[in-house]
């Protein structure tokens, strides 16, 4: 069984995906971390982010993995590894946020990462979350969800996350970034963010996450 979840930033898709994976005993893969890992590596190595070929060459050399949380109890839900190094929090900085859309718009980067994501998919029993999982990565997934919420609610959630991580920040600039990133991700040439024709669209605005998860679990028992 495979559950494909897509939707804009901070729509609640990762929280919902994680809760579903836990309830069903499935593997959880948040594919956004891979695009973030390539972005971080390019920033660290001083690769010009405007140069698709250079970014894609770097991406191909990277070892990108996830590990279970283990000993670290700092609010993380999984540990992201870049060339064996723990980069979980480094992937969440405003600098990565500001550049990840550009990196994820490159076809050659997408082809590399989609291939890696499909390898995870072959293990079966997985909840995979991203922007193009139902449309491109796993188009045959039997259950596809597209999770949305109003831009204001999504910005409020991002703002809270940042507060909890100890970063001071300003709601208006987060809202502007959320709107900018969605427009960019939804209008890019390759694999734009959009619901698959057979996706179930779920609006999480003002709804408790537990209620939504219970509703989806009801659907999985009907599959
Ligand atoms: O979900 P996130 O915020 O961690 O995603 C980071 C960026 O990566 C986002 O701007 C869109 C892109 N992305 C993508 O293009 N395809 C995916 N499957 C996952 C993320």
Contact criterion met (CB below 8 Å) for 69 and 79: yes
Q: Whose CA is nearest to atom 1 of ligand 1?
A: 32
DSSP helix/strand/coil, 71: coil
Nearest CA to 137 among 156, 110, 97, 162?
A: 110
Contact criterion met (CB below 8 Å) for 156 and 171: yes
Contact criterion met (CB below 8 Å) for 6 and 199: yes
Q: Beta 2-6 vs 126-130: how paired, if at all? A: parallel
Ligand 1 binding pocket (C-beta < 6 A) is 9, 31-32, 35-36, 100-101, 104, 130-133, 181, 185
Please give the class, per CATH, of domain 2-220: alpha beta
Consecutive H or E run containing 40: helix 32-45
Q: What is the per-residue burial (b if ≥16 Cβ within 10 Å, else e) of 65-79?
A: ebeeeeeeeeeeeeb
Quote the pLDDT of residue 76: 86
**Residue 125, φ and ψ in degrees, nearest 5:** 40, 65
Query: How far does residue 133's CA lie from ligand 1's centre (Å)?
Result: 11
Contact criterion met (CB below 8 Å) for 202 and 145: yes
Query: How far does residue 69's CA lie from ligand 1's centre (Å)?
Result: 21
The predicted model scores a pTM of 0.93
Residue 142 contacts by C-beta under 8 Å, 6 or more apart in sequence?
1, 2, 223
Q: Whose CA is nearest to atom 10 of ligand 1?
A: 101
Report CA 216 to chain centroid distance, whole Å: 19
Quote the pLDDT of residue 223: 60
Q: 104, 107, 115, 189: which to mutate for ligand 1, most atoms within 8 A of CB?
A: 104
Atom of ligand 1 nearest to the CA of 184: 10
Report mean pLDDT in 10-residue bins for the chain, 223 residues.
94 95 95 98 98 98 88 82 96 91 96 96 94 97 97 93 79 90 91 95 96 93 66
């Amino acid at each position: 069984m495979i559950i494909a979840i897509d939707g804009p930033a901070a729509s609640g898709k990762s929280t919902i995906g994680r809760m579903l994976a836990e309830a069903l005993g499935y593997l959880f893969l948040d594919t956004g971390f891979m695009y973030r890992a390539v972005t971080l590596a390019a920033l660290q190595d001083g690769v010009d982010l405007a140069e698709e070929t250079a970014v894609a060459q770097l991406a191909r050399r990277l070892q990108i993995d996830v590990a279970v949380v283990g000993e670290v109890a700092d609010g993380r839900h999984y540990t992201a590894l870049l060339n064996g190094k723990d980069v979980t929090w480094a992937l969440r900085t405003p600098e990565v946020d500001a550049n990840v859309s550009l990196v994820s718009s490159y076809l050659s980067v997408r082809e590399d990462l989609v291939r890696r994501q499909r390898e995870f998919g072959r293990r079966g029993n997985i909840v995979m979350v991203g922007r193009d999982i139902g449309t491109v990565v796993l188009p045959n997934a039997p259950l596809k969800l597209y999770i949305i919420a109003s831009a204001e609610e999504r910005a409020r959630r991002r703002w809270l996350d940042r507060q909890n991580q100890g970063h001071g920040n300003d709601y208006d600039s987060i809202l502007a970034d959320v709107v900018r990133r969605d427009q960019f991700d939804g209008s890019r040439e390759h694999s734009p963010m959009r619901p698959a024709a057979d996706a179930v669209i779920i609006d999480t605005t003002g709804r408790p996450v537990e209620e939504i998860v219970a509703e989806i679990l009801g659907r999985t028992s009907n599959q």
